[in-house]
Structure 1
Amino acid sequence: MTLQLTKLVVSPQRSLELLAIGFGGVIAYSTGDNLRLLEDAQVIKPDFFPSVPRVLNRIHQAVMAQIQAGGVKGALLQKALTTKIEHFRKTGEVTHRLYDVLVFRKVRALLGGNVKIITTGSAPISPDVVETLKACFACDVIEGYGLTETVGGISLNIPWDTVGYKTAGHPRPGVLIKLKDVPDLNYTSSDKPYPRGEVLIGGPIRLKCYHKDPENTAKAIDDEGWFHTGDIGVIDDCGRLKIIDRVKNVMKLSQGEYVALEKVEGIYGLHPLFSSFVVHGESLQSYIVLIGVVDPLQGAQLINKVLGKNLQPTDLAGMQKLLNDPKVRQHVLYELQTLAKKNGLNGFETVKGVWLEVEPFPAHILTPTLKMKRKQAGDHYREQIDSLYAEGELLFERRPIAKL
């Protein structure tokens, strides 16, 4: 089957650009402002929407906010969403003759109304988010896994696989994958029910070397020719790969507990307040903290309910002055604690300090795929991080002012 791609929203990554050109597609670039990405999509009306979990989580949050608003509209949306998700789980189909027209037409308009395929990569995404997107946009939502060193994706979901959407899918043709034991983190090939370990890549898809950099080449590629990704994966009984951790992004707290920062961020990313955030931990501290950029609409609602103000979402300067009021941060911590408990995080994985910003993260602490450069983020927000650790956990232990 040949897929004709007519328009493509894509970050400037060469593999996707070449794919679009090869299919005779049109490449459209966004303004570069993450807060305006949906506005850009409504102008471009893409058929193919490559994205990342941070962006897709925000779309999921917008849908959940409409459901939680209640009323006839919220009840109808909840009924339609539940029906479509149950239908997908039974059949693998993502369309519904009635609800797609009656309920989800306006939701589809968020991405221009024409989208046929949404892809996601760069970090794991919650299965709940994938199901919601499949239902709302009546299109395939495909998670993949790959690196620059493998020229893009090495595994992809099968769209109609009603179990595989919880993984990064099967290896592509010609790709060799094996798992290496990481005993320090308790990941081994003998783990039950499935083997776990660092993902190693072989075959012609992997890089030969880093240009004029033999030292890093030797660190990345072993004597047998396997490229070490630094990602921790699981391979299930159907040969599907699931990424569950990072070797380098697992940090040890002062009490000896290990925290997988990306895993924790995957949970807190479900909270509607944040447009982006980073979780930070230090080996001399016993807990983790969060630096978050708030969505202006959500930030204004938070301040107005907790502090009794009448702040407008457009008053960004006023919002910044009030966001880090102790009562506001106290309530956000309570909400994050509730979210952590609901998703089974341990106490040491629960954020116990939070600093809130209105201004988006500066470009120098983000990669082109919107991943956080943790060291640079830690350096940039060093004053705020030190302040959070200096005040300790007392703020976290107080009761919330109001429930949003």
Structure 2
Amino acid sequence: MRAEMRERFLGGRIVWAAFGAAPLPARMVEFMESVLDLPLHDAYGSSEGGGFMIDHRPIRPPVLDYKLLDLPDLGYSRIDLPHPRGELLLRSESVVPGYYNRPDATAEVFDEDGYFHTGDVIAEIAPDELVYVDRVKNVVKLSRGESVAPSRLEGLFSTSEVIQQIFVYGTSDQSYLLAVVVPAQEAVESVGGDPAVLRPRIAWSIWRLAAEADLHAYEIPQAFLLETEPFTPQNGLATDVRKPVRHKLQERYGARLEALYTAMEAFGGDI
């Protein structure tokens, strides 16, 4: 079947393949590599500068240099252990010189030394080996000061066989996370659509993956809403490349999630 997909639907002449826009779950990478019969490369770049990295390593040229910027309000620093973390700033031959007739916007994205602010939180695993953590604007700081990267957690939990999609939610007023879960169709069918059976299966899967990834307790959603409608470009909850549209998800589910926080506090307070 996969050989047929490769030869018949994809033409059978692919010699190199990559993904971008957002990290892919390991299960999806494994599947695509089995279909393509090729390694799937992790590409990183931006509209302003084109490609910057392949497989977590800067492309030289065009990249000339990079550095990490401390984000103390979000809890990221170049002295973090075991790896330095911070916003990735780049000097590159391919970066645009600025925004047309927008000196204010240009000043916001370039520092005084000409480094471009990518807006991405990066961990430097080794010299010239950089791993994406999250967008600066997507990082949530909880009430006890911990910084959480929701998209990283969503990528992890979406590898569950019982979860099709997940939206992780938190605020600076609370010390723990909640989530919205779209269950996998096979999981729904296997329990006859009974949420009383499906909920504990999803919860167990989340905790199992969290334990395997050695997550902190505050990185694990303590409760979740079940949603039967997937996040799609058609309903505005995902982009054309299936990235979650976070502000739209917050608009759709924010009130219900805040109500869930209130209900949980009524049954024992902060957990």
Give the secondary-structure state (helix, strand or coil) at the position aligned to 1:265: helix
What pairs up with 1:206-225 in 2 under 5 angstroms? 206-225=95-114
Deviations 1:301-335 (A, max 9, x none): 2x33xxxxxxxxxxxxxx5xx5xx34432331122
Give the secondary-structure state (helix, strand or coil) at the position aligned to 1:122: coil
Quote the offset at 1:350 in angstroms.
Answer: 0.6
Aligned length: 260
What pairs up with 1:7-86 in 2 under 5 angstroms? none
Q: Partners in 1 of 2:99 and 2:46 — Cα distance?
A: 14
Q: Partners in 2 of 1:393 and 1:138 — Cα distance?
A: 51
What pairs up with 1:201-280 in 2 under 5 angstroms? 201-237=90-126, 239-280=128-169
The amino acid of 1:342's aligned partner reads E
Candidates 258, 264, 267, aligned match of 1:392: 264
2:87 touches 2:121 (CA, 8 Å); kept in 1?
A: yes
2:52 matched to 1:175?
Answer: no
1:296 touches 1:358 (CA, 8 Å); kept in 2?
A: no
Give the secondary-structure state (helix, strand or coil) at the position aligned to 1:263: helix
Quote the offset at 1:369 in angstroms.
Answer: 3.0
* Greater Rg over alpha carbons, structure: 1
Quote the offset at 1:255 in angstroms.
Answer: 2.6
- Residue 215 of structure 2 corresponds to which residue in structure 1? 345
What pairs up with 1:305-316 in 2 under 5 angstroms? none
Q: Partners in 2 of 1:150 and 1:217 — Cα distance?
A: 14
Q: Partners in 1 of 2:179 and 2:18 — Cα distance?
A: 27
1:143 touches 1:169 (CA, 8 Å); kept in 2?
A: no
Quote the offset at 1:148 in angstroms.
Answer: 1.5
Q: Partners in 2 of 1:282 and 1:191 — Cα distance?
A: 23
Candidates 5, 12, 37, aligned match of 1:138: 37
Q: Partners in 2 of 1:249 and 1:282 — Cα distance?
A: 11
- The two structures have a TM-score, normalised by structure 2, of 0.81
User: Structure 1 residues 367, 126: CA separation in 2 closer, same or farther (over 3 Å shift)?
Assistant: closer
Give the secondary-structure state (helix, strand or coil) at the position aligned to 2:223: strand
1:179 touches 1:189 (CA, 8 Å); kept in 2?
A: no
Q: Partners in 2 of 1:298 and 1:278 — Cα distance?
A: 18
Give the secondary-structure state (helix, strand or coil) at the position aligned to 1:266: helix
Q: Which runs of 5+ in 1 are unaligned?
A: 1-105, 158-167, 305-318, 396-404
Candidates 335, 339, 363, aligned match of 2:205: 335
What pairs up with 1:115-194 in 2 under 5 angstroms? 115-125=14-24, 130=29, 133-135=32-34, 137-151=36-50, 153-157=51-55, 168-184=56-72, 185-190=74-79
Give the secondary-structure state (helix, strand or coil) at the position aligned to 1:272: coil
Quote the offset at 1:208 in angstroms.
Answer: 2.5
- Residue 370 of structure 1 corresponds to which residue in structure 2? 242
Quote the offset at 1:226 in angstroms.
Answer: 1.5
1:156 touches 1:172 (CA, 8 Å); kept in 2?
A: no
Q: Partners in 2 of 1:358 and 1:281 — Cα distance?
A: 21
Give the secondary-structure state (helix, strand or coil) at the position aligned to 1:275: strand
The amino acid of 1:198's aligned partner reads E
Quote the offset at 1:355 in angstroms.
Answer: 1.8
- Residue 73 of structure 1 corresponds to which residue in structure 2? none
User: Structure 1 residues 216, 326: CA separation in 2 closer, same or farther (over 3 Å shift)?
Assistant: farther
Question: Which structure shows the bigger proportion of residues in helix conformation?
Answer: 1
2:232 touches 2:239 (CA, 8 Å); kept in 1?
A: no
Quote the offset at 1:133 in angstroms.
Answer: 4.5
Quote the offset at 1:343 in angstroms.
Answer: 1.4
Quote the offset at 1:271 in angstroms.
Answer: 0.9
- Residue 18 of structure 1 corresponds to which residue in structure 2? none
Q: Partners in 1 of 2:29 and 2:168 — Cα distance?
A: 23
1:179 touches 1:233 (CA, 8 Å); kept in 2?
A: no
Candidates 359, 375, 384, aligned match of 2:229: 359
Residue identity over aligned pairs, in percent, reads: 28
1:281 touches 1:287 (CA, 8 Å); kept in 2?
A: yes
Q: Partners in 2 of 1:329 and 1:134 — Cα distance?
A: 32
User: Structure 1 residues 371, 127: CA separation in 2 closer, same or farther (over 3 Å shift)?
Assistant: closer
Deviations 1:45-94 (A, max 9, x none): xxxxxxxxxxxxxxxxxxxxxxxxxxxxxxxxxxxxxxxxxxxxxxxxxx
